[in-house]
Amino acid sequence: MGAIHPAAIFFVGAAVIPLFKGKAQRIFIVGVALASFIYMLFLEPQKGWGFSFLGFNVVLLNADRLSLFVGCIFVLIGLLIILYSIHVKENEHHIVSFLYIGSSLGVVFAGDFFTFFILWEMMAVTAAVLIWLKRDVRSMGAGFRYLIMHLIGGGILLIGILLHFSATGSMEIAGLTGVPFALILTGIGFKAAFIPLHTWLPDAYPKASLTVSVFLSVFTTKAAVYALARSFTGVDVVAYMGGVMALYGVTLALLQSNARKLLSYMIISSVGFMVAGVGIGTQLGIDGGLSHVWNGVMYKSLLFMCIGAVIYRTGRHDLTELGGLSRKMPITTIACIIAALSFSGVPLFNGFVSKAMVYEAAYYHDVLYWMLKLASVGTFLSFCKFTYFGFLRKKEIEAREAPLTMTIPMIIVAFLCVLGGLYPNLIADILPYQSELPAYTWGKVMSIMPLLLGSGAIFLLGGKLLAPRKREVPEFDYVYSSLARDFIWFCRSPSSAFAAWIDLAFARLAGGFLWFCRNPVSSLAAGVDSMFALVARIFVGTSRYSPLRALESVAGWIDRLSLAAEEAAKRRAQREKMAALAQGEVDVRGIDSALFLVALMLAMFLLYLVLKYLL
């Protein structure tokens, strides 16, 4: 086996957490995270934990410069977030958090697609469980929608992996071409929040608990960026998708009033810079995108820590209800301003350094370059809005500074944001290509300052237009919800109508058969009578075989058929009533949702069979 797998530390820790109580449990949780961080600092590049399974090689530990870099990010920020959330008393929160961090590390160090996929899906499930731990209606629905989107992405990813294995006979994460290339890229795109596959992110993050939002802001999208850096560097579609994400994220962020929803859209924009750098594919572009992963993890987690502390002390989520916090929560306010300046790429803060690398790499891609520049304008405007209306404007509010368990991690992360800006080559030695860029040249500083000053002027002159207002902003999830409802209606209503028709037909047959069995002689006689009645009515017209008697016989048959139809209609109404009751009790986790999932899995299986046959 060789070295200890970094993910194994968290998996074993999750299993042991319930054995401790109170202060001892908190010490153990922090100790596991600290031990993992220290261990990661000394882990050397290597391959290990390999074995043969179903005819291909499984490699659980593939530690190279790329995976070690991202792994260091994950264990460092994981330690700080665990410190931030140590006040949470529920065992479930800490157990699932460890599993979430462990599965993220498992994805990063996976050396084959089989391991990658298993831990990729485990990351989705544990994240959904973390969202559900808030235990209210909004979080339950958001967690289910999160899981649905990631299962769809996982299904597409699995089809691509199986087609790749069919074509090459290998599960190695390399050599992707053709349809498997496109499907695996799409599957990863769900987690990377490609537009329009991003709707799970701004839907789920604001509805999770305060500490869970901080966890979610770090691991899921960054694991996807790692996957892109592993297999999809130098792909123009990926690069320009990054530009679209950067612009789309800031545009939607400017329209939000919910603080965590605004930050959620800013995550999409920030990930867009990372995706653009990886998609450009040069050594500087890849290192710039990954450097932005490091810096982005710092300032994004810090922003979610800050707003989490505000919500913890005030109970308010919306920017329309906030303000006046600079005097009541000075440490949180200063940390938030540092994070906002870092996010905006202001010189002397870490975001400036990594953005400068991405700009330099994108310089000869004219459209992409100006997409990223324009996104920077929106970023600064968004954080002017966030910090002013959330913290700096004059407003009376009841609040006090966050507890030490929250402020200490915020101070550490804020320090790292400043340190990364003051020493731009601080992490250059651990980047995959060890790229160094002289960030603080006159040209680079002056290229960003007009954008920042112009953004500030726009906010000062048009601040009223940017003032937060509670409103629903149309998004792609409305389209997805409509499609899902139509799909469920198609599955239920036509099938119910068909079932009712079958009920009616069998009721008629059963009624006629029972009547015939009970009165076989009379039935035959009635049949003969009816036949002769028809003939007599036409040719004879006697009283015995009069049209009236024939009509009475027909009326009797109609009465029996009507009774059978009424019985079938009653059974149909009873089924619909039961389905409605079930849906009301379990909301999004009801019968309709189960039907949707089953149908979706079947559709994906059929898609795989079709593609395998065609290819």
Is the pLDDT at 545 greater than 60? The verdict is no
Task: Taking residues 96-121, report their average pLDDT.
Answer: 95
pLDDT tens for 23-60 read 999 999 999 999 999 999 999 988 888 888 777 888 99
pLDDT above 80: residue 321: yes
Q: Which two tokens stand for residue 307?
A: 């707003």
pLDDT higher than threshold 50 for residue 270: yes
Q: Is 172 helix (H, G, I), strand (E, B) or coil?
A: strand
**Helix H or strand E segment including 219:** helix 210-231
Domain residue ranges in the chain: 1-170, 295-468, 477-614
- Of 531 and 70, more confident: 70
Asked whether the predicted pLDDT for residue 524 surpasses 90, the reply is no
- Which bin fits 406, alpha (ψ -120 to 50), beta or left (φ > 0)? alpha
Q: Which of 87-96, 139-148, 178-187, 549-558 has the lowest mean pLDDT?
A: 549-558
Check whether 579 has a pLDDT greater than 50. Answer: no
Question: Is it the case that residue 508 has pLDDT exceeding 70?
Answer: no
Omega of the bond leading into 438 within 30 degrees of 0 (cis): no
The conformational region for residue 436 under phi > 0 = left, psi -120 to 50 = alpha, else beta, is beta
Could you tell me what percent of the chain has a pLDDT over 70? 79
pLDDT tens digits along 192-244: 999 999 999 999 999 999 999 999 999 999 999 999 999 999 999 999 999 99
Which residue spans within 155-281 are E strands per DSSP?
none
pLDDT at position 293 over 80: yes
d(CA 145, CA 261): 16
Q: What SS3 state is found at 396?
A: coil
At 506 the pLDDT is 66
Nearest CA to 362 among 185, 210, 239?
239
Average pLDDT over residues 293-297: 94
Q: Once rounded to an integer, what is the mean pLDDT over residues 506-534?
A: 61
**pLDDT score of 585:** 37
In this predicted structure, what is the pLDDT of residue 346?
Answer: 93
Residue 606: the pLDDT is 72
Q: Residue 547: its pLDDT value, please?
A: 54
Q: Which is more confident, 61 or 494? A: 61
In this prediction, residue 581 has a pLDDT band, given cuts at 50, 70 and 90, of very low
Q: Residue 361 — very low, low, confident or very high, per pLDDT cuts 50/70/90?
A: very high
422-454 burial, b at 16+ Cβ within 10 Å, e below that, comes to: eebebbbeebbeebebebeeeebeeebeebbee
Q: What is the predicted pLDDT for the residue at 588?
A: 43
Q: Euclidean distance between the first and final Cα of the chain, in Å?
A: 38
State the pLDDT at residue 123: 95
When comparing pLDDT for 3 and 518, which is higher? 3
**51 in helix, strand or coil?**
strand
In angstroms, rounded to a whole number, what is the distance separating the alpha carbons of residues 91 and 102? 17
Of 105-109, 321-325, 394-398, give the lowest mean pLDDT range.
394-398
Express each pLDDT in 413-467 by its tens digit. Answer: 999 999 999 998 888 889 999 888 888 888 888 888 888 888 888 888 877 788 8
Q: How far apart are CA 451 and CA 219, in angstroms?
A: 30
Task: Say if residue 5's pLDDT is above 60.
Answer: yes
Q: What is the pLDDT of residues 546-576, one digit of tens each?
A: 555 555 666 566 566 556 656 655 655 655 5
Which strand (E) or helix (H) includes residue 56? strand 56-63
Phi and psi angles of residue 89, each rounded to the nearest 5 degrees, phi first: -95, -20
**Average pLDDT of the chain?**
85
Using only the alpha carbons of the chain, give its radius of gyration: 32
pLDDT class for 385, splitting at 50, 70, 90?
very high
